[in-house]
Copies of this chain bind each other. A is one copy, B any other.
């Protein structure tokens, strides 16, 4: 599978020796669901990427990016695919010099097998906490080592790690936002809790009224997970997935089919 990199399709990445994405995790990314060649929630993903680039001082040219996306998506070859956009600060000198006037832009499109998605996931609480003050917590950056380490920590006993924040409140998993369903209320950790503001999460938040639910955006105590009617996790590729257990204790399993049906409307 080839990748579009800085203007051309390539079979290998040829990078400058001082590429900061590789040397210092100095870059950002988006992963986007693609159906029949159409990128789902593209505007929302690009808006988040623009905000992130601005906050971190990365050059972001949306017009150029959209042109590149067109040349990638036209090669779509499967009904379900995943698009990944990676933007780094590019090559600079040693040290933390903050300017990079030659950003590296990479775009990949790969098949995404929907039949392999889990019907539910088991979570286990990681000892690694999310840090609400850290850009790596609230932006989608390629500095992902803490999430990788958390996933490794729970591998074998769970499918993903539940991450609390440094204050002990529920934050997210290594790849998804967390929601609790309790009676007619949907509860999810608020933006200041060390979470990435997910796109699927935003779509659900905007749709609560239509779903006949009310929304609580606030700090969430981990004890609340045990008494919820359902706990589920969301991301742009997997949509909403029920959590079957946390640290070996079964979760409430009220069906969330209506929430997935609501999300999937944008996919057809």
Interface residues of A (CB under 8 A from B): 1-3, 10-17, 19, 21-26, 29, 55-57, 82, 84, 86, 88, 94-96, 98, 108, 110, 127-129, 131, 133-136, 139, 141-149, 151-152, 155, 166, 174-175
Please report the C-alpha to C-alpha distance between residue A195 and residue B194 in the assembled complex, in whole angstroms: 20
Chain B nearest CB from A268 CB (Å) reads 24
Please report the C-alpha to C-alpha distance between residue A205 and residue B72 in the assembled complex, in whole angstroms: 55
A136 B145 Cβ-Cβ under 8 A: yes
Residues of B within 8 A of A148 (CB): 24, 26, 56, 96, 98
Residues of B within 8 A of A15 (CB): 12-15, 22
Query: Of B24, B135, B166, which contacts A133 at CB under 8 A?
Result: B166
Residues of B within 8 A of A128 (CB): 133-135
Contacts A57-B152, A94-B110, A152-B98; A166 near B131 (Cβ below 8 A) = yes
A1 B13 Cβ-Cβ under 8 A: no
Can you give 7 contacting A-B residue pairs, CB < 8 Å? A1-B17, A13-B13, A23-B84, A25-B145, A96-B148, A96-B151, A135-B149
Residues of B within 8 A of A152 (CB): 56-57, 96, 98
Chain B nearest CB from A36 CB (Å) reads 20
A145 B14 Cβ-Cβ under 8 A: no
Chain B nearest CB from A130 CB (Å) reads 8
Please report the C-alpha to C-alpha distance between residue A1 and residue B16 in the assembled complex, in whole angstroms: 11
* Given A13-B13, A14-B14, A56-B145: 13 more A-B contacts, CB < 8 Å: A12-B16, A13-B15, A13-B17, A23-B86, A94-B110, A96-B148, A98-B151, A128-B135, A129-B166, A131-B131, A143-B144, A143-B145, A166-B166
Query: Of B19, B108, B131, which contacts A129 at CB under 8 A?
Result: B131
B131 A24 Cβ-Cβ under 8 A: no
B22 A19 Cβ-Cβ under 8 A: yes
A96 B147 Cβ-Cβ under 8 A: yes
B142 A134 Cβ-Cβ under 8 A: no
A144 B25 Cβ-Cβ under 8 A: yes
Please report the C-alpha to C-alpha distance between residue A53 and residue B167 in the assembled complex, in whole angstroms: 29
Please report the C-alpha to C-alpha distance between residue A101 and residue B28 in the assembled complex, in whole angstroms: 25
A129 B135 Cβ-Cβ under 8 A: no
Residue on B nearest A15 in the bound complex, by CB: B13
B135 A146 Cβ-Cβ under 8 A: yes
Please report the C-alpha to C-alpha distance between residue A133 and residue B142 in the assembled complex, in whole angstroms: 19
Residues of B within 8 A of A86 (CB): 22-23
Please report the C-alpha to C-alpha distance between residue A135 and residue B174 in the assembled complex, in whole angstroms: 14
